[in-house]
Amino acid sequence: MDRSTNLDIEELKMTREQYILATQQNNLPRTENAQLYPVGIYGWRKRCLYFFVLLLLVTMIVNLAMTIWILKVMNFTVDGMGNLRVTKKGIRLEGISEFLLPLYVKEIHSRKDSPLVLQSDRNVTVNARNHMGQLTGQLTVGADAVEAQCKRFEVRASEDGRVLFSADEDEITIGAEKLKVTGTEGAVFGHSVETPHIRAEPSQDLRLESPTRSLIMEAPRGVQVSAAAGDFKATCRKELHLQSTEGEIFLNAKTIRLGNLPTGSFPSSSPGSSSSRQTVYELCICPNGKLYLSPAGVGSTCQSSSNICLWS
């Protein structure tokens, strides 16, 4: 028993010594068949890496230079860009601005000391739409005409907002105190004209003319033509008709003259004939209404000179 125990202790000692010797051999540097492996990037990989780093640096410098140039050219500031300024009330443009695409704004106004100018090479069109996007009004300023397309067009006074001119599908209304036509040919109306008063300028003549057709003035309660400080003349090429269907024709003047009336003559055997110059005549009328003059006598001479009625 003691012998076996001693053997076990010796074996443990030998195993321990072998372990120590083996451990010391592993810690000793091995110079035999030793190989060195370099750590890092070498050769063409290192050159490629340096090239890409240099290229990235050049790109960053170019981008920075282009950004600075764009900021300088476009005049970027804290308030806006170039002539464009962003304010609390909206956007402010200074100088001449060009819009290549449609512009949608709520309000456009100029500065207090300068006008607002809208300019285009072809035309300027202003459209108004409803909440559904449908076109409700359009104003087009072109080279040949100014066109407005809407349900109702109005021009109002700046002081009291009074309507000076309005037009729709049914009528055109002019609300100005005076309508002045300065053309040499006057005003031409294709259809009837309804007005309570037609007046010419002071010291100017008023002329109503129809060159190729008739001129008709109608009023249910009467037509009055007056010349307060001048003459009233009515001339025609053929007949001048004064007709009253139910009333009368009233001529009221100090002197009434009827010129170029035909003059009747007595037969040679008439007792009232005289070779002296006749200065007084009698106004006679034929059954058809024709007026003529007859030399006055002691009595009525219309019957004696009634032969003029035969040719009327």
- Residue 230 covered by a domain: no
Q: Is the domain of 144 the same as that of 87?
A: no
Backbone φ and ψ for 176, nearest 5 degrees, come out as -75, 155
- Residue 239 covered by a domain: no
Beta bridge mates, 292: 284
Q: What is the pTM of this model?
A: 0.40
How many independent structural domains does the chain possess? 2
CB hemisphere CA count around 150 (13 angstroms): 16
- Residue 155 covered by a domain: yes
CB 290 within 8 A of CB 309: yes
Q: Is the domain of 101 the same as that of 126?
A: no
Last residue of a domain, one of 161, 176, 191: 176
Return d(Cα 93, Cα 91) in angstroms, integer.
7
Return d(Cα 23, Cα 202) in angstroms, integer.
138
- Residue 75 covered by a domain: yes
Q: Is the domain of 81 the same as that of 132?
A: no
Last residue of a domain, one of 57, 77, 108: 108
Residues spanned by the domain of 121: 117-176
- Residue 55 covered by a domain: yes
Q: Which of 181, 186, 151, 182 is nearest to 166 (CA)?
A: 151
- Residue 62 covered by a domain: yes
- Residue 252 covered by a domain: no
Last residue of a domain, one of 85, 108, 131: 108
Q: Is the domain of 166 the same as that of 138?
A: yes
- Residue 102 covered by a domain: yes
Return d(Cα 50, Cα 56) in angstroms, integer.
10
Q: For each of the chain's 312 residues, which pLDDT tens digit applies?
A: 555 555 556 555 656 666 666 565 555 455 555 566 666 677 888 889 999 999 999 999 999 999 999 888 877 777 777 777 777 877 777 777 777 887 777 888 777 788 878 778 888 888 888 888 888 899 898 888 888 888 888 888 888 888 888 988 888 888 888 777 788 777 777 777 777 777 777 777 777 777 777 778 777 877 777 777 777 777 777 877 788 888 888 888 888 888 888 887 765 544 444 446 778 888 888 888 888 888 887 888 887 776 778 775
Q: Is the domain of 45 the same as that of 103?
A: yes
Q: Is the domain of 128 the same as that of 168?
A: yes
